[in-house]
Structure 1
Amino acid sequence: MRAVHVLSTAAIAGALLLGACSRGSEPEQMLASLAPTPQIDPANYVQTAGMSDLFEVEAGKVAGRRARSGEVRSFARMMVKDHTASTRKIRDAVAASNLGIRPPTALDPQHQEKLAELRSAPRAEFDRLYMEGQVEGHQEALKLQQSYGESGGDPNLKAVASQLAPIVQHHLDEAQTILSGLQ
Structure 2
Amino acid sequence: MARARRGPPLEGQTMMDRRIALLGSAGLAALSLAPRLAAAQVATVPRVSPGEYKSRTLMGGSLSKETSQLALQRAQHRQVKQFAGFEIAEQTVLAQVLTNSENPAPVKLDADHAAVLQTLQAQQGAAFDRAYVLGQIQQHQALLLVQQGYLENTNRSEDTQHIAALARVSIQQHLVMLQELAQMLG
TM-score for the superposition, normalised by structure 1? 0.70
Residues 147 and 168 of structure 2 are in contact (CA less than 8 Å); yes or no, is this contact kept in structure 1? yes
Amino acid at match of 1:106: K
| Pairing partner for 2:162 from 135, 159, 162 | 159
Residues 50 and 103 of structure 1 are in contact (CA less than 8 Å); yes or no, is this contact kept in structure 2? no
CA distance in 1, matches of 2:150, 2:59: 16
TM-score for the superposition, normalised by structure 2? 0.69
% identity of equivalent residues: 27
Distance apart, 1:87 and its partner CA = 1.1
Report which of the two structures shows the higher radius of gyration computed on alpha carbons: 1
CA distance in 2, matches of 1:121, 1:39: 35
CA distance in 1, matches of 2:54, 2:136: 20
Gapped regions of structure 1 (runs ≥ 5): 1-36, 96-101
What RMSD in Å do the two structures reach over aligned CA positions?
A: 2.2
CA distance in 2, matches of 1:90, 1:138: 17
Report the equivalent of 1:133: 135
Please say if 1:72 is aligned against 2:107: no
CA distance in 2, matches of 1:103, 1:152: 29
Paired residue total: 139
Please say if 1:62 is aligned against 2:70: yes
Change (3 A) 1:131 1:152: farther
Larger proportion of helix: 1
Gapped regions of structure 2 (runs ≥ 5): 1-44
Write out per-residue CA displacement over residues 15-47 of structure 1, whole angstroms, 9 at most, x where no aligned residue.
Answer: xxxxxxxxxxxxxxxxxxxxxx98631111111
Correspondence list, 1:22-33, <5 A:
none
Amino acid at match of 1:85: V
Write out per-residue CA displacement over residues 141-179 of structure 1, whole angstroms, 9 at most, x where no aligned residue.
Answer: 112112212325322221210111101111111111111
Distance apart, 1:116 and its partner CA = 1.1
Which 4+ stretches in 1 moved above 6 angstroms? none
| Pairing partner for 1:117 from 108, 116, 119 | 119
Amino acid at match of 1:80: I
